[in-house]
Structures are given as structure tokens and as C-alpha cells.
Amino acid sequence: MSLPEEVYHILQKIVGKDYVSQDPVTCEAYYPTGHGKDTGLERLLYEKAACVILPKTTQEVQEIIKVANRFNIPYTPGSTFWFITCQTKAPNSLIIDLKRMNELFIEEKNMYGVVGPGVVYSQLQEEAMKRGLYITVPGGGGQVSVVANLITAGWSPLNYRVGMPSRRILGTEWVLPDGEVLELGSLAMGSNPFWGEGPGPDLRFILKGYSGWFGGLGIVTKMAVKLFPFQPERLKPVGVSPNTMLEFPTQRMRWFNYYMPDSKALVEAMYEIGQAYIGAAITKVPLMWRFVAKANSRGEFWELWNKQLGNIQEFYPAIVRVLLIGYTSEEQLEYEARVLDDIMKEYGGELHRTRQGDESWIKNADSATMWAVTGGYASCAGMIDTVDSAVKGGEYYAKIKRKFTPPLVDDLGEPGWFQMGEFGHMGYLEFLNYWDPDEIEARERVEQWYFDEVPKADARMGIYNLFQCQMIPVLSTVKFGPNHHLWMEKIKNLFDPKHLSNPPAPFEFDEFVKRAKHLKGDWD
């Protein structure tokens, strides 16, 4: 596969010879394994890219997109390439790797940062913390592009205090699928990006909405993001890679792990913590994660976990982890610790020891280890709703998951990973699945779970699933529309009539199901 020679020469002229390549080895390096392989998309949907290009400026991005439109070349943007959707799915496609666009600037007084798509959270966070500020880092870690994350996800336990990610998006520069630049918020009226809502157009809910377009609606080349006041003490990096963490200044930041008598007590205590307006993050801990954290190797994990499976009476499903931060003073933390203690006494919570540091949510990156246990991992559901619906949703998935266990790992009916947002006014659920992706039959069965069974469950329960929400069965159900998918098609056709921006986004899962003989797609 390669692009026509004429096109290749034009691309070389745009970015320079060093930043465009059709070398099969380079293109192969952009071909993903991991997550995409686990969910089966790789077998039936992915195509190797014909060419990779690395622009440095917005003008270069515009010129590349205009060339793509002139010669009908499908293109896929990628910022940090963690997510499966940044793989090319059409023959003779171009990958636009945005990592050279790494502008980073902080406006300390008005508390925002300006980033290009090549900037990752760890970089922004380090600079923000030096100025007594912070940004909410996704639960999966700080290794991902701030821009890519905020236009597709932005889910973090730290959203407990600062809420929905779309609100952190301020002035934004967006190259549309036809190559024209659109500036959102105050950027439209000048060079100051401090405001997302205006006075220029606020199209953040077309750009991002619930979970964005996954490269299907052009390229964001610059974004201002809201930063928040933090506490002033330094978090010290300790350990040797891969076992590193940021040590907490415990007079200002402290974890509290409680084992609750049952799930009911856990949920009620969580609500009460939110009502008391204390805490920086509150999350239920899936039992398996306790074992992942304890084990030093995959072998050790299985030894510990198998022992647990044989010892059901010691099964402790209800662990809650609370992070307190004394944002304003040490006294704030001490006050919140006393309130927390009172609440936990009421609900029978038992405090357990935990390491006082962070491996993921502040600046580090531990999400790669999520795969390590079995080699295959994917959450089949994610949901932002109420805490109550997160709990009920998790329990429902757990019930129907039994039919698929094995090949899914037996997690003792774990009802998922749920946490609170906006001081308990919102709940977040992620439903986890582990399996061995090297066993082909197991993979097909897991795909039946992921693509046939879960969308039906979503429609039945009224769950607007973050991970499947661009699948037509979910979008077309009466609970969400019923014609939500038609609106998405309309917007796509309007902005990108040639469907060159990362096709078949936004409906790649539907395309996969159509091609997979082992899937029924019998959602109605």
C-alpha cells in the first residue's frame, strides 16, 4: 500500500522530508496491538496505514487535510495512540501523528493552560503543580494527550470535585474535515482563549458531547483547559521504574481505605460523604485490583487470586477508597478526616492501611498494567448517571456476565468500578472484563459478550454506555432518542461529506459486527 507519488511529494513539501514516511516498517509501528486486538477489531476492521505524517503547525494540518480532500485520501489523527480508534480502517489511509504539536503555556493568574495535542497530562500537571494549580488526570493515567482525552473521555476519580470534563475545555482551535479552521469560545474574538462559552461559538457539545467523534470530525490543534487551585506542598517522586509513585505530603493529602460490612453500607456511606461536602475523590475498589496491587508478578497474582476463589467466605466485596486533600490548609484535611471517621463509624467501616502515594491519578501512568493479569482487558461499559444507577447497572451486568464466565475471568460477581462525581450528584460506573486473548475461541465468545450481549443489556436498562454509545442499537433505542444515530449521521455528512476523517467513525463497531460471522447483531 502506498499513496500516489504526486500526493507523497506534496506532503513532503508541506512538512519536510524527515516528517513523512511510507516505509512499511514505520507504518507497521503504528499498527496497534493490545486493546484493539483484545476486542477483535484488529482481525476484521484494521488496515495498515499507507503513510505517516507528523505536522508541526496548524497551517500544516490544514494543508494536509486539504490535500486529503483533493485526492480523496482517508486520514486518521492520533495524539498519543493509546486508543483503538486511532488505527486506520480504510485502505491507503494516512496517519496524522500530532506529537510534534507540543506547545505548552500556563496562564497562572487566570488559571488555565494552553496545550497542543502532543502534550500529555504528566507534562501539564508538573507545570501546573509548580504554580500551585492542578488538572484532573484520567483514571487510566497521565500518559495520554490532554487534547485527545478531553475530546473523547476525561473521566477521573478527581471529577468528584470538578465535574464534567467538557466544562474544562475553554478556547479551542479546530481544523474541520474540509481543512478550514474554526475557533471556539473567546478565541474566536481574539487571541485570548480564557472562555469556552463565548463570546464566539460554543460548539463543545458537538465536538465532545458525551464521548466525541474519535477522529471522525477533523483535528483539534490547540486547546485552553481550566486549571484548579491545589495545595502547595511538593509530591515527591519515589521508586524505580516500573514501580514508581508520587509520595503524598500527608499533612495535606491522605488516602483512607475502608472495608465496609456490605455493598449497601458502602453506597450509603459514599452518599453521606458527598452530602458532607468533603473529599477529593471517592471510589469503590474492585476486589481484583487489591490483588493486582499486592502481587509483584502475574504468577503471584494468580496464586493469590486462586486462593481467594477457594475461600469465598473471606470475600470482601465492599472496599471504598477516599482521598482527602487539604486544599486550603492542613486544618481542612484534619477536619475532613474527623467527619469521614464519624460517617464510617455510623456505617461500620473498618480502616485499613494503605500506601500514601499515587501511581495514576495525579501524574503517573499505570494503566498499562491493567492488561498484565491475563493479557486481555476491556471495560465493556462506562456510564455517567447517578450513583444509584451505577450500582444497579453494575449488578445487572454482573448477573448476565455469568454466562460468559469462562472465558471471562471469574471475578466473584464483581459489580464493577463505581465512583462519585460532583460531590455525589453524579455516579460513574466502569464494568471490567479480563480474559486470555491468545485463545481464539475464547476471543470470539468474549466478542459475543462485548458486541451482542452488552448493547442489548444497555438498551434494556437505559444505560447510555460510554464504550458502546456510538453503536446504533444503543443510539436508536427509544430510551435515547429514538433517532439519535440519525442526528450523528447528519452532523457527520454536513462536516465531512466525503467521509475522509477516520472512516467508518463514528460507527466502526457496527461495521465490525456486520463483518463478524460469529456475531448476531440481533439487537432489536
Ligand X SMILES: Cc1cc2nc3c(=O)[nH]c(=O)nc-3n(C[C@H](O)[C@H](O)[C@H](O)COP(=O)(O)OP(=O)(O)OC[C@H]3O[C@@H](n4cnc5c(N)ncnc54)[C@H](O)[C@@H]3O)c2cc1C
CB of 305 to ligand X, least distance (A): 19
Asked if residue 194 lies in contact with residue 171, where contact means CB atoms within 8 angstroms, the answer is yes
Interface residue with ligand X, options 136, 211, 364, 502 (CB under 6 A): 502
Instruction: Return d(Cα 143, Cα 369) in angstroms, integer.
Output: 13
Instruction: Return d(Cα 231, Cα 129) in angstroms, integer.
Output: 9
Judged by CB under 6 A, the stretch of 48-56, 139-147, 252-260, 507-515 that binds ligand X is 139-147
- Site residues for ligand X, 18-37, by CB under 6 A, read 35
> Which neighbouring-strand residues pair with 49?
none
Judged by CB under 6 A, the stretch of 4-12, 102-110, 149-157, 333-341 that binds ligand X is 149-157
Pairing of strands 94-97, 51-53: parallel
- Site residues for ligand X, 203-232, by CB under 6 A, read 214-215, 219-220
Question: Does 370 help bind ligand X (rule: CB under 6 A)?
Answer: yes
Judged by CB under 6 A, the stretch of 18-26, 144-152, 452-460, 507-515 that binds ligand X is 144-152
Q: Which is nearer to ligand X, 320 or 466 (CB)?
A: 466
Instruction: Return d(Cα 61, Cα 45) in angstroms, integer.
Output: 26
Q: And the C-alpha cell for 220?
A: 483539534
- Give the dihedral sign, CA 345/347/348/352: negative
Instruction: Return d(Cα 117, Cα 119) in angstroms, integer.
Output: 6
Ramachandran category for residue 412: left, alpha or beta (phi over 0 → left; psi -120 to 50 → alpha): left
Interface residue with ligand X, options 21, 22, 62, 76 (CB under 6 A): 76
Interface residue with ligand X, options 112, 155, 258, 396 (CB under 6 A): 155
CB of 86 to ligand X, least distance (A): 4
Amino acid at 288: M
CB of 463 to ligand X, least distance (A): 18
Contact map string, positions 317 to 346, toward ligand X, x by CB under 6 A: ------------------------------
Element holding 457 (H helix, E strand): helix 454-461
Question: Does 147 help bind ligand X (rule: CB under 6 A)?
Answer: yes
Q: Which is nearer to ligand X, 154 or 455 (CB)?
A: 154
CB of 83 to ligand X, least distance (A): 3
Q: Where are the beta strands (DSSP E) in 326-387?
A: 350-352, 357-358, 376-377, 381-385
Comparing CA positions, the residue from 434, 417, 464, 432 lying closest to residue 266 is 417
Judged by CB under 6 A, the stretch of 16-24, 150-158, 182-190, 243-251 that binds ligand X is 150-158
Question: Does 82 help bind ligand X (rule: CB under 6 A)?
Answer: yes
Question: Does 421 help bind ligand X (rule: CB under 6 A)?
Answer: no
- Give the dihedral sign, CA 239/245/246/249: negative
Interface residue with ligand X, options 3, 65, 153, 281 (CB under 6 A): 153
CB of 477 to ligand X, least distance (A): 24
Residues 6+ positions from 218 with CB-CB distance below 8 Å = 65, 174, 175, 176, 177, 495, 496, 501
CB of 308 to ligand X, least distance (A): 23
Question: Does 427 help bind ligand X (rule: CB under 6 A)?
Answer: no
Give residues in contact with ligand X (CB under 6 A).
35, 76-83, 85-86, 98, 117, 138-140, 144-145, 147-149, 151-156, 214-215, 219-220, 367, 370, 502
